Amino acid sequence: MGDLLTATTQFLKDYGYLDPRSEVTSFDDVELSSAVAKFQKFDANHQAVAKELGLPAVVTDGQLDPVTQVVLEMPRCGHGDSEVSAALGVGGWKNCHGADNHHNAIVLVNPNNMPNHLAPHFHEVLTRVQKAYADIGLLFRFTWMQSGQKRDILTDDVVEGATNIDFSFTIGQGWIGLAIVGNGSNQTCQAKIWCQYHYPYNPSDTVTQWTTLIKHELGHNTGLSHSSGGVMNPSIINGLPPEWSESDPSTSTLKYWFSGVPVEVPGTEPGPPPPDSGDKPAPGQPLSDEFRLWDGTKTRLFRGIG
């Protein structure tokens, strides 16, 4: 029980629900209950998890019930939920226009450590992400270096212009994606920031969930904070459509920032596969397929929540 209390307290501190200076000694601590209740109200996965597991709907009463414990362990973004600081960098590019007079940003992908389970689907994932943003008025050009040139991953065109985002794979420390959050009032065409992805992240639905994950981190790069529900929910919601849907809490903001007028996507044919970077990391465990659930007497495993 002590380990569960420690892990829960640290999670709530890390993600902005509990004061880092708090000294919690039991689950009866009022400060802890208040923080748990805030988490229950914010993360939109609680009710879906309860339905999937056949358990009663979560009451946002601050009790660390089994469903809340499952959601606490779900793969999630590395940012806090209550407030995401823009002090680390600038992005968004809401005033950045290219030759065709539309909003655009150039992403430079480092293929080192690209996981084996993602590589065969990478073109499809990036195509979905690109179209989703292009439909609301922002064109991301996904590129990597080949023979000293920056080439479009999806068309193989040479791409001129400054890189806006460095995109790389790494081992996350308790997160599956992390990005510098854009500053909505201070963009320039030269603004350069970054996003990183946890390469062992191996969900059962690779294309759908990696599409959502990359959309989420690029959303941070544009200046979006977390939302309750939708793409910017801090833990991935299963089954989201590839586009920015009208029901997503972030869609109206993105359309306001980037005009909402669809941008034409260059080319239709995929470019060459990623350059061989040597031995790639082996796929990790399917983090979105299996969670530990504590029922008060023993630990049980439930599958299929992502």
**CA torsion, ordered 218, 221, 226, 230, to nearest 10 deg:** -20
How many percent of the chain have pLDDT more than 90? 33
Query: Does the pLDDT at position 65 exceed 80?
Result: yes
Which of 78-87, 93-102, 168-177, 269-278 is the most confident on average? 168-177
pLDDT for residue 99 is more than 60: no
Q: For 11-25, 105-119, 214-228, which range has the lowest pLDDT when averaged over its residues?
A: 11-25
Average the pLDDT over 132-151 and give the result. Answer: 93
Average pLDDT, the chain: 79
Residue 84's alpha-carbon distances to 170, 246, 276, in angstroms, are 22, 24, 36
d(CA 210, CA 72): 20
More confident residue, 153 or 32: 153
Tell me how crowded residue 134 is: count the other CB atoms within 10 A of its CB.
20
Closest CA to 273 of 121, 167, 107, 117: 121
Q: For the purposes of burial, counting CB atoms within 10 Å of the CB of 184, is it exposed (0-12), middle (13-18) or buried (19 or more)?
A: middle
pLDDT in tens, 233-258: 988 888 899 999 999 999 998 888 88
Rg (CA), the chain: 20
pTM: 0.75
> Which of the pair, 4 or 145, is modelled with greater confidence?
145
Of the chain, the percentage scoring pLDDT greater than 70 comes to: 76
pLDDT band of residue 293 (cuts 50, 70, 90) is very low
What distance in Å separates the CA atoms of residue 127 and residue 197, rounded to the nearest whole number? 18
- Give pLDDT, residue 271: 58
Q: How many CB atoms lie within 10 A of CB 218?
A: 26
Q: Does 294 have pLDDT greater than 70?
A: no
- Predicted confidence at residue 63, as pLDDT, reads 85
Collect all residues with Cβ–Cβ distance below 8 Å to 73 and sequence separation of at least 6. Answer: 291, 292
